[in-house]
């Protein structure tokens, strides 16, 4: 019964956050378990060190990260909304949680991490102004090690052109069991980016 109550509470909080800031949230409901699994299964957890999650929200992807991660992995979360960030800090006290995804490198440095092996993102990039999208892409690319993975979900293929400037897009998967259905981009950092 507690799990159902928690799930309903998470959906309510997420919906409330969406109503307050629809462009920052991008969806009326949290990511499904299937989407969270699709985001984390491309990460070679045994052979990497540090991973960041952007736009952690109520934590459905964070939960999947915790299930997949190995004891040696360092996880850093980013969530802009202060209420959601506080809840993440309570639910995942072992993970550092920061407010600004435009400051990935400084947060990683504060955690004693150099460049990241992978970044997982649920940010609704296409809802953001063009300047913010570019700033985020620059920061993500700079924060990743050479050959690092960027795995993001979007609700359309509109980000394909921008992502291809920074990354080799290795795969795009449709996850139909999500509301709305989502595309997962599996990308690898290019040697040179804009």
What's the longest Cα–Cα distance across the chain? 51
Q: Yes or no: say if 151 and 183 are a contact pair by the CB < 8 Å rule.
A: no
Residue 116 to residue 142: CA distance in whole angstroms: 9
- Residue 86: its pLDDT value, please? 96
Q: Half-sphere exposure of residue 71, counting CA atoms within 13 Å on the CB side?
A: 0
Tokens 């090690």 belong to residue: 145
Q: What is the CATH number of domain 2-189?
A: 3.40.50.150
Q: What is the pTM of this model?
A: 0.86
Identify each DSSP E strand in 11-142 by its residue range.
Answer: 50-54, 74-78, 96-98, 116-121
Using alpha carbons only, give the angle 50, 111, 73 rounded to the nearest 5 degrees: 25
- Residue 191: its pLDDT value, please? 81
Tens of each residue's pLDDT in the chain, 194 residues: 445 555 445 444 444 444 445 444 444 467 899 999 999 999 999 999 999 999 999 999 999 999 999 999 999 999 999 999 999 999 999 999 999 999 999 999 999 999 999 999 999 998 899 999 999 999 999 999 999 999 999 999 999 999 999 999 999 999 999 988 999 999 999 987 55
* Domain locations in the chain as residue ranges: 2-189
Decide: helix, strand or coil at residue 32: coil
Residue 86 to residue 88: CA distance in whole angstroms: 5
Where residue 147 falls (left for φ over 0; alpha for ψ -120 to 50; beta otherwise) is left
Q: Yes or no: say if 110 and 50 are a contact pair by the CB < 8 Å rule.
A: no
- Residue 64: its pLDDT value, please? 97
């Amino acid at each position: 019964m507690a799990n159902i109550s928690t799930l309903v509470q998470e959906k309510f909080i997420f919906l409330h956050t969406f109503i307050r800031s629809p462009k920052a949230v991008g969806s009326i409901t949290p990511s499904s378990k299937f989407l969270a699994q699709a985001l984390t299964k491309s990460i070679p957890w045994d052979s990497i060190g540090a991973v960041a999650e952007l736009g952690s929200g109520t934590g459905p992807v964070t939960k999947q990260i915790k299930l997949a991660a190995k004891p040696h992995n360092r996880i850093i979360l980013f969530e802009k909304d202060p209420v959601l960030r506080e809840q993440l800090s309570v639910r995942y006290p072992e993970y550092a949680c920061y407010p600004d995804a435009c400051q990935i490198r400084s947060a990683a440095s504060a955690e004693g991490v150099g460049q990241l092996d992978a970044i997982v993102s649920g940010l609704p990039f296409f809802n953001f102004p063009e300047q913010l999208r570019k700033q985020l892409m620059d920061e993500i690319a700079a924060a990743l090690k050479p050959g690092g993975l960027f795995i993001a979900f979007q609700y359309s293929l509109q980000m394909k052109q921008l992502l291809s400037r920074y990354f080799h897009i290795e795969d795009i998967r449709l996850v139909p069991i999500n509301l709305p259905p989502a595309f997962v981009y599996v990308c690898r950092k290019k040697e040179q980016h804009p």
